[in-house]
Amino acid sequence: MKSKINRRTRAKEIYEKVVKNVQNIIENGEYEKYLKFQKQFTKYSFNNIVLIYSQFPDATKVAGKAKWKELGRELMPNAKAIHITAGMPAQGKTTVKKIVNGEEVEEEHTYNYTAYKQVYVYDISQTVGEPIPLETKFLASEDMASFYEKLKQFSKFPIHERKLDGGLKGFYSPSNKAITLDSSLSVDAKTAVLLHELAHGLYDDFDYKTDKNLSETFVESVAYIVADSFGLDNSMCSFNYITRYAKGNADIFVDLGTKIKKCASEFIKELEEFEVQEEKLAA
């Protein structure tokens, strides 16, 4: 029983550390930099991404000592270790009392659980040896007009362009399942807004009437990650707007962060697969 209590206590400590780190990221105005950083670590959990970022914000590729050695690289003297957590399968035993033939007997039962322990990883900048290609996946085009056309073809919703009033740049209509963009925007701005509205239509399952703040924080974050991945400088995204609604809700933000990472990865994968299909049709 003591081991279970220790695991729960340790899990609570890790969670509280993650919440504190997220709060610091928000309060220090580093959310935009964090989103750029996040997409480099698709195989790590949201909690571990936060832990990596809080200790080594300039990291680009991390692995354990054994993995670096396997890749032909050695740790530099005094290499800075990054502490993360790893879950490993484990077994425990417990005693259960039961009645057999009218008598109380004890039986030992084995149960499976995930044990979490602290492990160390190192950024590539802390190693020397064989070069490692740092692949960045994006559509092979610097022309956002071309990317914008691809997005319109990719869209599962009809897209309309017309002059919008009141500073409105675009919107997604859940009832009509259609996207409207301000026709007066530049191509790059239309691309950014279209990514935002597509994220609303594809991944946003918040009740907008009651959870508008969460919805807009989530959607703008997903759109930013996808835009950055495909080479669009999405400077029109207002990160002050995002952080204003996330600040003070770091515990909620931890849950939202996992959703942002998952949906952005799915969005990017779908766009990449769409491009491959287009290339096959053109061949």
150-172 tens-digit pLDDT:
999 999 999 999 999 877 889 99
Select from 74, 102, 129 the last residue of a domain.
129
Q: What is the pLDDT of residues 227-263, one digit of tens each?
A: 877 878 664 454 555 665 665 566 666 778 888 888 8
Crossing angle of helices 46-55/250-282, nearest 10°? 100
Q: What's residue 72's pLDDT?
A: 86
CA distance 208 to 191: 23
Amino acid identity of residue 179, one-letter, is: I
User: What does the mean pLDDT of the chain come to?
Assistant: 79
Burial environment of residue 260 by CB neighbours within 10 A (0 to 12, 13 to 18, 19 or more): buried
Q: Is residue 126 predicted with pLDDT exceeding 80?
A: yes
Residues 188-196 have a mean pLDDT of 91
Answer whether residue 187 is part of any domain: yes
Given a cut of 80, is residue 42 above it in pLDDT? no
What is the number of structural domains in the chain? 2
Name which residue leads in pLDDT, 218 or 246.
218
Residue 43 lies in a domain: yes
Looking at the structure, tell me whether residues 175 and 124 fall in a common domain: no
Tokens 């919703």 correspond to 157
The answer to whether position 174 is within a domain reads: yes
Q: What is the CA radius of gyration of the chain?
A: 24
Mean pLDDT, rounded, for 205-220: 88
Q: Is the pLDDT of residue 272 over 80?
A: yes
In a domain, 196, yes or no: yes
181 within 8 A of 170, measured Cβ to Cβ: yes
Same domain, 125 and 177: no
- Domain co-membership, 124 together with 177: no
Range of the domain at 179: 144-282
Regarding pTM above 0.85, the answer is no
Q: What is the mean pLDDT of residues 51-57?
A: 90
Distance CA 10, CA 16 (A): 10
Final residue in a domain of this structure, among 74, 101, 129: 129
One domain, residues 67 and 150:
no
pLDDT band of residue 204 (cuts 50, 70, 90) is very high
